[in-house]
Amino acid sequence: MDVTIIKLGNESYPHGTIVKISCTNGYALNLGSNRTARCVRGFWKPKAPECMVSPCKVPPAANGVFYLHHVKLQMGDSINHGEAIHLQCLQGFQSRGSHSTRCWFGNWTAHTTPECVPAPCILPEIRNGDYAPGYRAGLTIPHGSFIQYQCKSDYLQGN
């Protein structure tokens, strides 16, 4: 009876051997959730186990869209090791922190995921009116701020 021996890395295994594979951090096994392979007549079944550099999953992008090489991405898409994605915010929003991040061994390089936050507003000119003391047209104010103003005596507010 012939005994077929197959190599995996620096080790050799005889027919019928079942191996359980674990990859180091930053690498993923090509067998998916099945972490075992069996030596069958000189071949690994379901296939030869291999630890490959882990990809990254595109994070959610509320009020924005991630792109890779000008291609729009969906949350959960896989990005290969070494590739960078860029966040483009929707109108009325701006990115906080870096607008891009790179996939590196299954993790994003940015310390925090890029995100889109409401953009600040620039106070417009008020015809026939004035802002409360300390405010003037052209100042940038944070999103959600309330600024008081008053109309000149000959004009009514809201008309």
Question: pLDDT of 109-140, one tens digit each?
Answer: 988 888 999 999 999 999 889 999 999 999 99
User: What are the residue ranges spanned by the domains of the chain?
Assistant: 5-53, 56-118, 120-159
Residue 156 has pLDDT above 80, yes or no: no
What is the pLDDT, as a whole number, of residue 3?
42
Tens of pLDDT, residues 16-28: 899 888 899 999 8
Pairing of strands 93-96, 56-57: unpaired
| Domain pair 5-53 / 56-118, same fold | yes
- The b/e string for 82-96 (b: 16+ C-beta within 10 A; e otherwise) is eeebbbebeeebbbe
Alpha carbons 27 and 52: distance in angstroms, whole number: 5
Diameter over CA atoms, the chain: 108
Whether 1 shows a pLDDT value over 50: the answer reads: no
Q: How many residues does the chain have?
A: 159
Range 5-53 classified under CATH 2.10.70: yes
**pLDDT band for position 2 (cuts 50, 70, 90):** very low
Residue 30 has pLDDT above 60, yes or no: yes
Average pLDDT rounded to a whole number, residues 143-157: 83
Q: Which residues contact 156 (CB under 8 A, 6 or more apart)?
A: none
Over the chain, what is the mean pLDDT? 88
Single-letter code of the amino acid located at 43? F
Distance in angstroms (rounded) separating the CA atoms of residues 7 and 18: 13
Residue range 56-118 forms a domain whose CATH class is mainly beta
